[in-house]
Copies of this chain bind each other. A is one copy, B any other.
Amino acid sequence: MRDINQFTITQAVKESFRTEPGSRFEALLHGLLDHLHDYTREMNLTHEEWIGVLNFLYDCGRISTPERHEFILLSDVLGFSALVDMINTRGGATEGSNLGPFYLDNAPRMALGADLGKDRQGAKVLVYGKVTDILHKPLPGAIVDTWQADSSGTYPIQEQEHGQDKYDLRGVFTTDDQGRYYYTTVLPKPYTVPYDGPVGRLLRAGNRHAWRAAHLHYIVRAPGMRAITTEVFFENTEYLDADAVFGVRRSLVAKVRPAREVEALGFTLDAKPDAIIEFDFVLAPEG
């Protein structure tokens, strides 16, 4: 009979899986086994550390619900979500960033120039820009789907028990014949990721805060183009260099410009802005 030891076990585990040779499943599985077995050997992991890791995952599972995915949060604070976004950004296209937990796929359609902020408190901003392909050709009829927190850092969906409408501060816009989108809204504020669970314990153990830099969420799509999921941040705001989920890229930080430039833009707006944010989205071809 065979014998296995700490150096031969990795190969034995790989061979126990009868995966299709050369398949993606095999590559993913073998790579994971190589890395995690190497880690275990390099660290000389003790039984206490091993069960500590497994119990941490168990606790993540226990706090998770269909509305709260603690494993995504764990991936976020360890930079995996950001890394996957970076790896999957196409050359020339707008960089991707976190989807986050609050996306709704059936937000209301809005006319260009509409006001998402309505009578909410906070600085009112005009957000505008173009959707283009990677050769800067405007894309008319592109879809700009946006959602955001309010000026206290809260998403209306988190405040439904206080009478808020979960579709507030959301809108789906269609670019005009010049590929432009424009609307007004309130400037969002920073907020914390949930830190009352195992991921919060990990952050505290590492003396880390749970704050995200303020941002607007976007999914932008157009026929024949690869959709992007990203976030837009604001120059000179807090946590740009210390975002808890590593969502900030320099290319995603917009300037906040004075309102006096608004007239020159010639937009018909439902509300009068206090400031202006311009951000262009660039989509790469599909496939």
A residues lining the B interface (CB < 8 Å):
1-6, 9-10, 12-13, 16-19, 25, 27-29, 31-33, 35-47, 49-51, 54-55, 57-58, 60-62, 64, 69-72, 75, 78-84, 86-88, 205-208, 240-242, 246, 248-251, 253
Contact = CB atoms under 8 A, between A and B. Distances in A.
User: Which residue among A2, A18, A71 has the maximum number of chain B CB atoms within 10 Å of its CB?
Assistant: A71
A242 B25 CA distance: 21
Contact of A16 (B3, B13, B62, B242): B242
28 contacts: A1-B248, A2-B241, A2-B250, A4-B246, A4-B248, A5-B249, A9-B82, A13-B79, A16-B206, A17-B208, A19-B206, A28-B49, A31-B39, A31-B42, A31-B43, A35-B36, A36-B80, A37-B80, A40-B87, A45-B87, A46-B88, A47-B84, A50-B81, A51-B72, A57-B57, A58-B61, A61-B61, A61-B70
Contact of A83 (B6, B84, B86, B250): B6
A253 B57 contact: no
Given A19-B207, A57-B60, A61-B61, A28 B4 contact: no
Contacts of A41: 83, 87
A40 B72 CA distance: 15
A31 B36 CA distance: 10
Given A13-B79, A25-B206, 12 more contacts: A1-B241, A10-B83, A16-B246, A29-B206, A33-B78, A35-B38, A37-B79, A46-B84, A46-B88, A47-B88, A51-B72, A55-B71
Number of copies: 2
A248 B27 CA distance: 26
Given A54-B75, A57-B57, A71-B57, A249 B39 contact: no
A12 B79 contact: yes
A13 B78 contact: yes
Contacts of A43: 27-28, 31
A271 to B, nearest CB: 30
